[in-house]
A and B are shown apart, each in its own frame.
Chain A
């Protein structure tokens, strides 16, 4: 194992860590979704990078080309990108509904609203 040989893995892991941190540590729901997107692109890189062969060409068959990069990860990640944007759209729709229902998209304020509602309901009972 050499440092240069594993460089792509380390870049991927750095991006994964940033994405995970944004998802865990930030309380704004839209920011969380952007963090999820970061995490997702890091996963794309994790799949695509091992399929590359230095000196190889893109997997489009042509005369005079002997070495191609691996086409299989490309296929899988094409699917993942499209599904990713579908989840993003659904998540944003949920955020918009939460904003309408709670008047806020900060996680702490939403939880506080829930606690307040519960205690006022208990007072009435």
Chain B
């Protein structure tokens, strides 16, 4: 997966970049299954590898698919990125180790959801129970965000040219 990511950074042909992005998304979905996040993996495979790829391909079709070579040397961005990465590594030193049952994340509200959610909501899938029942208003807000984004896309791309309009319907179907 790291190889796919670095390939995306180095590749100049945008078509190749988008295809590598799709591969990367599927690898990420596999990793999420391994980490027991089956709902997230399904969404990532459908949205990340499916819809995002289609949207990017549509945009490349409209804007051209080659990237011009770099004008600046990449040393300053590289320096910034390495400093950021170093600070993040320093930050993780204080975090609990992987799969530690005593970590705060497993002690706080999660046990309550796991024991009470099936009884209170009648849904065996706890992720669904929390998403649709406990945090229903969050999901309402999320749909508002998606709706606003859809309106924005339509407002930006509403043109006379039929070519642009096709891309527009693409996007609305995607959401």
Contact = CB atoms under 8 A, between A and B. Distances in A.
Nearest to A85: B47
Q: Which of B99, B109, B139, B152 has the most CB of A within 10 A?
A: B99
A88 B175 CA distance: 11
A26 interface: yes
A108 interface: yes
Interface residues of B, number: 92
A88 B8 contact: no
Which size bracket describes the interface of A in this complex? 35 or more
B37 A5 contact: no
A115 interface: no
B95 A89 contact: no
Given A13-B92, A90-B156, 6 more contacts: A16-B84, A25-B72, A31-B67, A37-B48, A92-B55, A100-B159
Interface of A: 1-2, 4-11, 13-22, 24-28, 30-31, 33-35, 37-38, 41, 44-45, 48-54, 56-62, 68-75, 77-79, 81-90, 92-97, 99-100, 105-106, 108-109
Interface of B: 1-2, 5-6, 8-9, 14, 17-18, 21, 24-25, 28, 31-32, 35-40, 43-44, 47-48, 51-52, 55-56, 58-60, 62-64, 67-68, 70-72, 74, 77-78, 80-82, 84-85, 88-89, 92-93, 95-101, 103, 105-106, 109-110, 113-114, 117-118, 124-127, 130-131, 135, 138-139, 142, 145-146, 149-150, 152-153, 156-157, 159, 164, 167, 171, 174-175
